[in-house]
Amino acid sequence: MKLLQEAIEKRGEIINDSILKVDSFLNHQIDCALMEQIGIEFANYFKDKHFTKIVTIESSGIAPAVFAGLKMNLPVIFLKKSEPSTMKDPVYTEAFSFTKNRKYTLCMERSCLNPEDSVLFIDDFLANGQAFISAEDLVHQCNAKINGIGIVIEKSFQKGRQLIEEKGYDIYSLARIQEMKDNKIVWAK
Ligand code: 5GP
């Protein structure tokens, strides 16, 4: 997605060879016009597939997921990193944070998904695929299924895509980074 690639090149910051900071439009401040285009792009790509819900992870997956939800007319569930006292019957899983380099617990209300649900999973970044694996676990604990994966920024030099493809999922990443070196981004073909 050209608009997104331009935003990453102009407004992103390469922290090191494996971490990109995009706080100016996605991870802290949100560029709503860009998010709207992201929502349209996901809706176009997945237009022939059947989904009943979008699932993402708080907090940075919420903006792209909500704009996709608006364009696809789907509700959005965000998985929570801490359990609110109001949750009645949660399902839990352990997750590993790539950027924080530590484990954390993800949870959701079991009644959010049921066996008839066909889920589109959306997230801001794909690195080694650990966030996806944890989300997949929660979706499966509710006996629902994942029918597609939408990623805003994929770092193709890490293991996530291969792991997801080996599981047979349809994955669509809007910007695919092959390499980050000498303060420059090389895009995957
Ligand atoms: P994974 O679980 O695929 O290893 O990592 C994906 C998660 O880690 C995303 O949900 C995202 O929040 C975070 N993440 C991974 N790589 C980056 C990065 O380069 N920059 C930022 N800002 N977040 C990242």
- The answer, yes or no, to whether any atom of ligand 1 lies below 6 A from the CB of 78, is no
Give pLDDT tens digits for 113-127: 999 999 999 999 999
State pLDDT tens for residues 154-172.
999 999 999 999 999 999 9
**CATH code of residue 38:** 3.40.50.2020
Query: Which residues participate in the annotated binding site?
Result: 20, 27, 127-131, 155
| Cα–ligand 1 centroid distance for 133 (angstroms) | 13
Asked whether the ipTM of the predicted complex exceeds the cut of 0.85, the reply is: yes
Strand (E) or helix (H) holding 125 = strand 118-126
Domain count, the chain: 1
Distance 153 CA to ligand 1 centre (A): 9
Q: 8 has which bridge partners? A: none
Distances (CA, A) of 165 to 16, 148, 160, 178: 26, 11, 9, 17
Structural domain for 64, as ranges: 2-187
Segment 46-84, tens digit of pLDDT: 999 999 999 999 999 999 999 999 999 999 999 999 888
Residue 16: pLDDT band with limits 50, 70, 90: very high
